[in-house]
Homo-oligomer: A and B are copies of this chain.
Amino acid sequence: MEEESAILMLTELYKQHPKHYVAVDCSIFGYEEGELKLLLYPRGFEPAQGKWSLMGGFVQEKESVEEAARRVLLQTTGLKDIFLEQASAFSKPDRDAGARVISMTFVALIRIDIHDKDLVRENGAHWWPVTKLPSLIFDHEEIVANALSALQQKASIDLIGKELLPEMFTLMQLRNLYEAIFQKTFDPGNFRKKVLSIGILERLNIKNTNESKKGAYYYQFKPLDSGLRSERIVKFP
């Protein structure tokens, strides 16, 4: 009773303060045809018709911002269990033309080879190479720049690829992914040695003979439960 009335008082205290719309905006990255790509949606209505936009949505009453972001991703790509990480909050009072909206932004990594292409097409969405992005709505260009540098940061600490590449991949494919993320080339020999030295890749006895004459072994990430996955890279680029 004591306790309950105390909470009531607290609730009263809060009422002096304004409430806000809270949104999530997701920078959804994928990798295809040697390029890092971003999933964008066209705006069908004014203001800013014709401009492109990150996928987003509003945070509802009984969900955390992460849950809201996962809901949005499921709705738009049909995928559960994808990599999702908080980036920065964007909150300038006038950042959205419609109303004051505080946006929590996320970085999502998706395997383009398994997402629901029909669902994406249905929404009019399009995968844009990050090197040739169109003009974006509101402050979304700033959000994307922020997401990209968060992605680079992550890629230089952890070996990513599980989230963006197919189950099996060659070391050249992994290197091309890293070159797409950092927009620079890596020495093939050194890249191979560094990546293998981490010890989280497993060579399969299958070769890819499409992309080279000699044929390159496929690799996969060791299963998470298979004992020792040290996981850490000290520094990448």
Contact = CB atoms under 8 A, between A and B. Distances in A.
A10 B47 contact: yes
Q: How many copies does the complex hold?
A: 2
A11 B98 contact: yes
Contacts of A9: 45-46
A128 interface: no
Interface string A22-63: 100000000000000000000001110000000000111111
A104 interface: yes
Contact of A2 (B2, B7, B46, B86): B46
A2 B48 CA distance: 12
A45 B102 CA distance: 30
A47 B235 contact: no
Contacts of A184: none
Contacts of A61: 18, 93, 100
A8 to B, nearest CB: 9
Interface in A80-119: 86, 88-89, 91-93, 97-102, 104
A97 B10 CA distance: 8
Interface of A: 2-3, 6-7, 9-11, 13-14, 17-22, 45-47, 58-66, 86, 88-89, 91-93, 97-102, 104, 234-235
Given A3-B46, A17-B60, A19-B21, 15 more contacts: A2-B46, A6-B45, A7-B47, A10-B47, A10-B97, A14-B21, A14-B58, A59-B91, A59-B102, A62-B93, A64-B91, A65-B89, A66-B91, A86-B88, A86-B89
